[in-house]
Every structure is written in C-alpha cells, then in structure tokens.
Amino acid sequence: MSSFISLQNIIYPSSELSLTMILLDQWSLVYVRGSDSKKYLQNQLTININLLSKKHHALCAHCNLNGKVWSTMRLFQYQKGYAYIQRKSISKIQITELKKYSIFENVRITELNDIVLIGLAGLDARNFLLKFFIKIPNKNCSIVYEKNKTILWYSEPKERFLLILTLSEFLFLKKEINKNIFFNKSKQWLSLEIESGFPIIDKESAQKFTPQAINLDKLKGISFDKGCYYGQEMIAQIFFKNLNKRFLCSLIGKGILFLEIGSFIEIQIENKWCIIGIVLSFVHIKNRDTYIQAVLYKPVNANNLFRIQGFQNIFLIKNR
C-alpha cells in the first residue's frame, strides 16, 4: 500500500528536501488547439513559437498592449496543439484576455480541469520515476510524453519534475508506491520556483511589470527578432534604449514575516528607510525564515538591510 508521510505543511529549502511529491493545486494547465493555434500564440506570447521543438518546454509571458505582463508560463507542445502552465489565481483572467482576438481564428483555449499536476523533487527523484516510467526527461530533452502522461524536467534549484496525469493515473501511482515518500502542498513547489528565479505572477501582480523587470530577458523568455506580438513595441523600446531599471531578486528574512503580494520593501540608506521594491511572492521556510521574491528598483548588495514597510523586522539579501 501507499505510505505517504505528511510534512504538516512545513516547507523545506531545496538543500534539505527529501523525496517529496507535491500537489500543484495553485497552478493550472491551459490547452490551446486548432489549426491556427501556432500562429495565434506567435502573435500573443514573448517567445518565437517557431523555434519551440517538441523536446523542450520554454519560459515566456503573455503581455498587454502596453508591454505589461499578464502572466508568466511554461509553454510546450501538447496533444494536438500547445499547453502552458501558469498560476491558477490569474488563469481565468489571462484566458479571457487571450481569447479576445480569437473570434476569426480556428483556435480553442481551455483550462483543463480533468488532469492533476504533480511535482516531484528532492533526493533521488529521478530513480523514483524510473520505477514507473520508461523514459525520464533531462537537459537534452526536457519534456517526455508517454501515452496520456507528460513529464517536464526542471534544472533549478536542483533537478525536479512536473507530471501531468489524469486522475486515474495519479491514483494508480499513489497505490503502487511501496516506499515512504513525503507529500506536501503547492507552497513547497512555490519555494522551489522562488529559489530557481522563476518570476511568479499572481492575480495581484498582473499588468504591473514589463518582462525585463522580472528578468525574462536574462531567462531567455523574450524574443527581440520574431516580429510583432502584443506589447512588442514597448518591450523592444525598453531593450534597445536600455530603459529597464528594475530586476527580480530573491531575499530571505529571518523569522516569519507578515507580508502580502504587493507589499513595499524598504532599504536603509544613511539611517533612513526608502522604498526599494515590491513583493511578488513569498513562502515561510521551516517556520523560521521567509523566502521573498521581489522586484527591486535599483542595485543592492549583500550588506544592505531591508524591511517590509510598516514592520520592524530587518532582513538581508539572500546569497545565491
């Protein structure tokens, strides 16, 4: 029988993570199909869809006409079209925006609610998967399709995997597990995403940042030569005129910090506290630290002191 050990919602850093299965109920899978799906996404997303092979998934963004990010996503070929994984909180809004220009195109865009997204991370995750799947993705082939199952490979912060399963396949997998494995909720995956530098865009932070402000240019999530797409003019202008002054950063605070998405971060400059950035996402680690993903407005260093506006807790920039 299955033997899942509950972590009681304690979140661990990647360096301390035992073999863990994670229910990704804070993420959603969106399926785009139809004969015009490739052309349609090419005109909407920040990467060149023509260069996306079936062997790889890619980080990209969907922006509004002003070049502000609706959502960040992992995009890949899926069944008879394309699919992408994004934060569930923004999914309905983002899908509505993506559909706005589809009336004259042969394209259908739906959020799939009949699948289960599962993360697998921690010690010996690859060998664990080899007990159940014939082929496991890697650097050279970051996505594998096996019948109705799909596995995505992530390299950061340590090797981990995302499984797309039907409910029956997930229940079968649970039933067949004959060794102890930890089981945790979505915040464990969120912690790993923050560690990896993947920009988290939830509903509260949609349409507030350009792709460059959340490091998508550094993460190869923007194409500057593919032609027109929504927001492309502003994004290109920022790039070619070197106008971006913001960047994504990971911070760590000692203790449990009380904050929200959108909270302002302050920095100490000559005994004064000045706003330096804004919180994108956060998670409490082992009930002793707080990992924070933030957009900062100017360069900082490891000796700077930070705090959340309105609170006295001081924290330092995270060493990566």
Residue 301 near residue 283 (C-beta atoms within 8 A):
no
Half-sphere exposure of 264 (CA within 13 A, CB side): 8
Bridge partners (DSSP) of residue 54 are none
Q: Which residues contact 29 (CB under 8 A, 6 or more apart)?
A: 83, 84, 85, 111, 112, 115, 117, 164
First to last CA, the chain: 40
Bridge partners (DSSP) of residue 317 are 251
Q: Which strand ranges, in their side-by-side order, compose the sheet holding 69-78?
A: 58-63, 69-78, 81-87, 27-33, 108-111
Looking up tokens 């924290």, which residue turns up? Answer: 315
Q: Is 189 annotated as a binding residue?
A: yes
Q: Which residues are annotated as a binding site for folate?
A: 27, 189
Q: Which residues are annotated as a binding site?
A: 27, 189
